Amino acid sequence: MKTYSPETPFDDYSPPVARVLSCIQPTGAVHLGNYLGALQQWVNGQHQNDVFHGIVDLHAFTVTESPGVLGQNTLELAAMLFAVGLDPNVATVFVQSHVVEHTTLSWMMECTVSFGELSRMTQFKDKSQKREAEFVSAGLFTYPALQAADILLYDADEVPVGDDQKQHIEITRDIAMRFNHRFGETFVLPKAVTPALGARVMDLQEPTNKMSKSTTNESGCIYLLDDPASIMKKFKRAVTDSDNEVSYDRDAKPGIANLLDILSAATGQKPQELASSYSQYGALKVDAGEAVCAMMSPIQQRYTELMNDRAELQRLLRVGAEKARVVASATVDRAKNAVGFLPE
Ligand code: ATP
Ligand code: LTN
């Protein structure tokens, strides 16, 4: 890479690229929140930065109790990541369990985070409460340590995520700082980057909750593989409010603001500007639905093609894991040396 020096003319200078990492769990179908809050940013960032994207099956294992589902979900998610536009020749796309360094570093992270810190994580509180009578694994509790390992293994400068993940990036920084303080400079401190639009896509039926695959009412969640008829139906049924004036106000009019945000993310126009061009809720719902259908159609086509060639998908994932392992194993060696484990 070229670096700037007074002797180098400006047109020859390219700033150093950032190392970017983000991951997604293979826990079910990808929804519009995942796409607008994270995946779209991953795709846009791949030509500017050095990007690593993991399918975090070990994280999904925290809530997996039946055999056979994890591998199939992982394969389907890989097809979806390539279908939305991640280029396997540019981005490093890998499966977390294929890179064994994640579990080694995760244990070191567990020993660097406190019980109190983990107890304060809102995702753990939400997910353990939602599981009510179900089994709550210790892995669900120590989950942020594994996530910290994912990020620190790759010396990530930036982590593009939706709003809900900011706390996990904060705890990763705290763990990295503590480790560096105890054992000497080892880890790069990452920062979360959230998109201006789509940072939090809300449920169409309960617009004060984030759109989520663990929703109780399926019609509030748009899946990337939904057919156009069901996408339109879900938009037409979206919960709004009782007056009929289109304005962009997230607190007073969460349903309308969400529709405007979605339409804005799909068209590139500002939500406030869009608001002024509508006088009725019905037309806004139809336009938002149609814009989403148009955005999904090429993705769905590529997804089907990719799923028809399983051998090729697995080959792409092997290439990704090899590239990931090179960086990850160097970091684990550095961390072990810093602590002073006895070398083999
Ligand atoms: P869910 O709540 O649906 O189970 P999750 O947060 O567990 O979702 P992942 O599949 O691990 O889902 O998330 C992948 C990415 O999608 C993360 O970066 C997360 O911040 C982002 N994301 C998830 N839901 C939303 C949403 N409603 N709006 C914006 N971004 C979201
Ligand atoms: N916890 C995240 C998924 C996740 C992740 C990561 C995101 C696991 N490891 C590393 C960014 C970086 C979630 O539930 N969305």
| Cβ 200 under 6 angstroms from ligand 1 | yes
CB 159 within 8 Å of CB 191: yes
Residues 156 and 44 in one domain: yes
Residues 23 and 141 in one domain: yes
| Cβ 58 under 6 angstroms from ligand 2 | no
Residues 241 and 139 in one domain: no
What token pair was written down for 177?
């700082």
pLDDT digits (tens, 9 = 90+) for 313-344: 999 999 999 999 999 999 999 999 999 999 99
Q: How far apart are CA 271 and CA 258, in angstroms?
A: 9
Domain total in the chain: 2
Q: Is residue 58 part of a domain?
A: yes
Q: Is residue 5 part of a domain?
A: no
Mean pLDDT estimate for the chain: 93
pLDDT digits (tens, 9 = 90+) for 208-245: 999 998 777 889 999 999 999 999 999 999 999 988 89
Residue reference for tokens 């990020």: 151
Q: Is residue 2 part of a domain?
A: no
Residue reference for tokens 């991951």: 23
Instruction: State the CB neighbour count (10 A cutoff) for residue 154.
Output: 25
Residue 121's CATH number: 3.40.50.620
pLDDT(197) > 80: no
Q: Is residue 213 part of a domain?
A: no
5 or 113, which is more confident: 113
Q: Is residue 207 part of a domain?
A: no
Which residues, at least 6 apart from 89, have a Cβ–Cβ distance to it below 8 Å? none
For residue 199, name the pLDDT band (cuts at 50, 70, 90).
confident
Q: Is residue 1 part of a domain?
A: no
Helical spans, DSSP H, in the chain: 32-34, 40-45, 57-60, 69-84, 101-110, 115-119, 122-130, 138-153, 166-183, 228-236, 254-267, 271-276, 281-307, 310-339
Tell me which residue of 129, 81, 27 sits closest to 299, measured CA to CA: 81
Which residues, at least 6 apart from 247, have a Cβ–Cβ distance to it below 8 Å? 253, 256, 275
C-alpha 143 to ligand 2 mean position (Å): 9
pTM (whole model) above 0.75:
yes
Residues 158 and 283 in one domain: no
**Active-site hit among 127, 166, 323, 336:** 127
- Which sign does the torsion angle of CA 278, 283, 285, 290 carry? negative
Residues 23 and 145 in one domain: yes
Instruction: State the CB neighbour count (10 A cutoff) for residue 319.
Output: 14
C-alpha 343 to ligand 1 mean position (Å): 40
Q: Is residue 208 part of a domain?
A: no
pLDDT digits (tens, 9 = 90+) for 84-95: 999 999 999 999
Which residues, at least 6 apart from 299, have a Cβ–Cβ distance to it below 8 Å? 80, 83, 84, 224
pLDDT(74) > 50: yes
Residue nearest atom 11 in ligand 2 by C-alpha distance = 22
Residues 165 and 314 in one domain: yes
| pLDDT at res. 7 | 55
**In 3-state terms, what secondary structure has residue 223?**
strand
Residues 318 and 263 in one domain: no
Residues 68 and 112 in one domain: yes
Residues 300 and 313 in one domain: no
Residue 261's CATH number: 1.10.240.10
Tell me which residue of 157, 174, 222 sits closest to 20, measured CA to CA: 157
pLDDT digits (tens, 9 = 90+) for 138-164: 999 999 999 999 999 999 999 999 888
Residues 192 and 258 in one domain: no
C-alpha 222 to ligand 2 mean position (Å): 21
| pLDDT at res. 193 | 93
Q: Which domain holds residue 45?
A: 10-198+309-339
Q: Is residue 203 part of a domain?
A: no
Residues 153 and 290 in one domain: no
Q: How far apart are CA 184 and CA 178, in angstroms?
A: 10
CB 271 within 8 Å of CB 248: yes
What is the rounded (10 degree) CA torsion for 170, 174, 180, 186? -30
| Cβ 171 under 6 angstroms from ligand 2 | no
| Cβ 194 under 6 angstroms from ligand 2 | no
Residues 170 and 237 in one domain: no
